A = this chain, B = another copy of it.
């Protein structure tokens, strides 16, 4: 009960702060970001001490090596946080822009003004740098934030939060515009996601399990980022060099990212040329192939793909490969097995490129480009709080605009309705 009251109090303060932040000048929000950067720069010793406490506690609790690595705040990672704050301060302010202003037959002018969402709850796992990234994007877009990081990073997150608070106070903004949940009690999450009166949206950052749990229990909208089972389809007549370059890059440039290709589809008439070339390239990179029967007939030694393989997000050096009859079958495969994240066609044919763009129902659909481009920075958003696999509100890479909404504004000269 105590934790619930604590969370309600955070929520109440965040709601009040969100009104002040929404009405604040762009210059004040930018000043807060830059002052927070300076405060973090001056607090390197305190950050290191707090991080050491977390690391020692983690070691004592037997955290595994990847978690320990993500938890560590190295000087280079602190530098990256500082650069991030500078960069977010230089981004254009999305708040207040007015679009689509038109005069109606009644004489009223109707348009739309971009406004902050209000209070954003961020739930994330071990990396403490997310505290700075998420808080800075939410603040820049005029929102208040409640941050619930991993319990293993609590001391680091609290130390970072103190610097963010200094930045806010320096700029005359309310300290409650950025609040870190200061308890390891798990009940805090349950409360955070069920307070629609205080929290407008939840952005979970972490593994699929975390996101599914939160989505199931939340009474607040959730911007979800589930898995990326991405596809590349090599069409009949595609440029073979281009197809090889894209298929290799999409799989091997990084294995652990959500925009990495997990299944390759090859047109039947291209299979005998492309599969041997690609088999060699993937072999050299150490990628294990799991194929359909026709793939296995061309590339002996390839393991048989099970039905389950077509759904897999391997996040590692494994690739499922299927030979398809035509564009139709490729799109059927994608619309059946894809997680609707990112798909790419390699083709020379304009009509088939257009059909692929129109008919494939994923958050990013590409022609002749590597799936690895599905990213807020590569798309010119200047920042990214995540990649949404939802269809409503925000889809694909989510930048500052995804943290805002629009309202209708009406300018009249005394009009009344007949």
Kindly specify which of A59-67, A287-295, A387-395 makes contact with the partner chain.
A387-395
Closest to A100 in B: B380
Q: How many copies does the complex hold?
A: 2
B364 touches A408 (CB 8 A): yes
Given A110-B379, A117-B392, A367-B412, 9 more A-B residue pairs with CB atoms under 8 Å apart are A22-B359, A102-B380, A110-B380, A201-B391, A239-B414, A250-B416, A361-B407, A365-B410, A373-B417
A393–B404 Cα distance when bound, in Å, is 10
| Chain B residues within an 8 Å CB radius of A411 | 366-369
With beta carbons under 8 angstroms apart, the residue of B369, B390, B395, B408 that contacts A396 is: B408
With beta carbons under 8 angstroms apart, the residue of B110, B216, B378, B409 that contacts A417 is: B378
With beta carbons under 8 angstroms apart, the residue of B23, B115, B362 that contacts A407 is: B362
Contact residues on A (Cβ < 8 Å of other chain), bracket? 35 or more
* Interface assignment of A121: CB less than 8 Å from any CB of chain B: no
B369 touches A245 (CB 8 A): no
Assuming the A-B contacts A113-B358, A117-B392, A335-B19, are A369 and B246 also in contact, with contact meaning beta carbons closer than 8 angstroms in the complex? no
| Chain B residues within an 8 Å CB radius of A113 | 357-358, 365
* Interface assignment of A219: CB less than 8 Å from any CB of chain B: yes
| Chain B residues within an 8 Å CB radius of A393 | 392-393
Whole-angstrom distance from the CB of A221 to the nearest CB of chain B? 5
* Interface assignment of A308: CB less than 8 Å from any CB of chain B: no
A392 touches B221 (CB 8 A): yes
Interface CB pairs A-B, < 8 A, 29: A22-B358, A23-B355, A23-B359, A108-B369, A108-B373, A110-B379, A110-B380, A113-B358, A200-B392, A201-B392, A216-B219, A242-B414, A245-B416, A248-B416, A364-B408, A364-B409, A364-B410, A366-B409, A366-B410, A366-B411, A366-B412, A368-B411, A369-B414, A370-B412, A373-B410, A395-B406, A395-B408, A396-B407, A397-B408
A356–B350 Cα distance when bound, in Å, is 50
Assuming the A-B contacts A19-B335, A245-B416, are A395 and B407 also in contact, with contact meaning beta carbons closer than 8 angstroms in the complex? yes
B23 touches A415 (CB 8 A): no
Assuming the A-B contacts A368-B413, A405-B391, are A96 and B374 also in contact, with contact meaning beta carbons closer than 8 angstroms in the complex? no
A414 touches B368 (CB 8 A): yes
Assuming the A-B contacts A104-B378, A108-B373, A406-B395, are A22 and B415 also in contact, with contact meaning beta carbons closer than 8 angstroms in the complex? no
Closest to A259 in B: B417
* Interface assignment of A372: CB less than 8 Å from any CB of chain B: yes
* Interface assignment of A249: CB less than 8 Å from any CB of chain B: yes
Q: Mark A103-124, 1 if CB is under 8 A from B, else 0.
A: 0101010100101011000000
Whole-angstrom distance from the CB of A287 to the nearest CB of chain B? 16
| Chain B residues within an 8 Å CB radius of A239 | 414
A246 touches B380 (CB 8 A): no
A361 touches B19 (CB 8 A): yes
* Interface assignment of A80: CB less than 8 Å from any CB of chain B: no
A365 touches B407 (CB 8 A): yes
* Interface assignment of A253: CB less than 8 Å from any CB of chain B: yes
Whole-angstrom distance from the CB of A355 to the nearest CB of chain B? 8
| Chain B residues within an 8 Å CB radius of A115 | 361
